[in-house]
């Protein structure tokens, strides 16, 4: 089956919400993937910061295969070992008084957080605050908190009072939050906005404001968590702790799992029957997540991610090209800042030359490679990047002339 044939079948049988993706993948090994025509690509997006260990990592394969052969599913009617072990590992990494609810995705983790803070809120609290251009998911509650008007407005109203403030603007946040606010939902770095970090000290400011007003501090680390920035969790850089933390993506290394972690009084805010999921905490997904955490520890991937991220940033900064304005981000979560709306052309020309990147906004390319990427692989990409940018510039010029 060729790539063209697979894409035709995709268009004929799947809803058009994704369009038709330009590349049809069939195989992955480490940081490299192959399409249906046998072409090799260096994967620099890792399923949107999901495939932490790359593709086909022996530890992940072994854990998933063993669990599938042992106990694949229980529902939430029964206890199983992997779920308990994973919850214990996460609370151990986070420290303090915490408990975990497992879901299947990031949006579900944020839905759980939304219900959790509502359940814990005192009388009179009735509105939420979130950030412009933030992204928390596409289900109704998570979408209500998502500050991207183009994807939110067509599906409203949501039956929630959500007030949006600029990302990283502590003064605007302070003005918006008072004793009537249920919770503040923020990301340490906005991934879907183009890997845009908040200013240094912002999370500490959010923590202080929530302490002052009694609003819950919900931190969405769906993309940034589980080693992506060179720490287990991005908020550890500032030494702050949210009231509720949401995780997904890299936690399962490719298997679908999300987590909502409540600290202090939020650990026990749910009562029996308040929330649930048939597949949440699935044994196979939990086994995969345990393998991810074990491998990050045993292979020293936190330190490796920090070093590789610095190397990637330094080498990008060393490129002088009219389309490239610079880079931003942390660890192996970076954006190429472009001088104009050229990201679609850059993504296309990168794929032509064997590199998978993500045109996350019109003027930003998101890079989130597997945490196991090597200096040599980064070097291959950096060597090719000026040629990719040249081709993108030529394509943009041709498009403008036509």
Catalytic residues: 135, 220, 249
CB 243 within 8 A of CB 218: yes
Token pair belonging to 126:
């009735």
Helix locations, 268-340, DSSP H: 283-298, 301-317
Q: How many CB atoms lie within 10 A of CB 159?
A: 8
140: three-class secondary structure by DSSP: helix
CA-CA-CA-CA torsion for 208, 213, 218, 224, nearest 10 degrees? -20
**How far apart, in Å, do the first and last CA atoms of the chain sit?**
35
CA-CA-CA-CA torsion for 395, 396, 400, 402, nearest 10 degrees? 20
CA neighbor of 173 nearest in space, from 203, 149, 145, 146: 203
C-alpha 358/C-alpha 169 separation (Å) is 27
Beta bridge partner(s), residue 402: none
Token pair belonging to 72:
């694949």
φ/ψ of 369, rounded to 5, equals -70, 165
C-alpha 381/C-alpha 384 separation (Å) is 5
Please give the order of strands across the beta sheet that includes 244-247: 98-103, 258-263, 244-247, 216-220, 181-186, 127-131, 161-165
């Amino acid at each position: 089956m060729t790539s063209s044939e697979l894409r035709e079948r995709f268009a004929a049988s799947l809803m058009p919400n994704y369009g038709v993706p330009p590349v049809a993948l069939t195989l992955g090994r480490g940081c490299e993937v192959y399409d249906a025509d046998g072409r090799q690509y260096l994967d620099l997006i890792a399923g949107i910061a999901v495939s932490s260990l790359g593709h086909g990592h022996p530890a992940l394969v072994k854990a998933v295969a063993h669990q599938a052969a042992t106990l694949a599913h229980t529902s939430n009617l029964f206890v199983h070992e992997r779920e308990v072990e994973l919850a214990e590992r996460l609370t151990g990494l986070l420290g303090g008084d915490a408990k975990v609810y497992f879901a299947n995705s990031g949006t579900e983790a944020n839905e759980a957080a939304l219900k959790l803070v509502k359940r814990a809120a005192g009388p009179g609290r009735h509105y939420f605050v979130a950030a412009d251009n933030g992204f928390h998911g596409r289900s109704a509650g998570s979408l209500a908190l998502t500050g991207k008007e183009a994807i939110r407005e067509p599906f409203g109203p949501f039956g929630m009072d959500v007030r949006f403030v600029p990302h990283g603007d502590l003064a605007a946040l302070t003005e918006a939050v008072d004793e009537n606010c249920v919770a503040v939902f923020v990301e340490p770095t906005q991934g879907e906005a183009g890997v845009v970090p908040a200013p240094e000290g912002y999370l500490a400011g959010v923590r202080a404001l929530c302490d002052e007003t009694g609003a819950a501090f919900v931190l969405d680390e769906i993309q940034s968590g589980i080693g992506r920035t060179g720490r287990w969790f991005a908020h550890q850089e500032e030494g702050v702790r949210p009231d509720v933390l949401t995780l997904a993506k890299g936690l399962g290394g490719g298997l679908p799992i999300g987590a909502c972690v409540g600290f202090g009084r939020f650990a026990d805010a749910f009562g029996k029957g308040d929330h649930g999921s048939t597949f949440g905490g699935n044994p196979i997904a939990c086994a995969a997540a345990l393998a991810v955490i074990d491998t990050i520890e045993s292979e020293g991937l936190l330190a490796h991610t920090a070093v590789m991220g610095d190397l990637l940033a330094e080498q990008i900064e060393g490129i002088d090209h009219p389309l490239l304005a610079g880079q931003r981000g942390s660890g192996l979560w970076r954006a190429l800042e472009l001088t104009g709306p050229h990201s679609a052309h850059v993504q296309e020309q990168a794929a032509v030359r064997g590199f998978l990147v993500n045109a996350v906004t019109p003027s930003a390319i998101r890079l989130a490679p597997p945490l196991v990427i090597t200096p040599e692989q980064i070097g291959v990409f950096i060597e090719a990047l000026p040629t990719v940018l040249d081709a993108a510039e030529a394509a943009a010029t041709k498009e403008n002339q036509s």
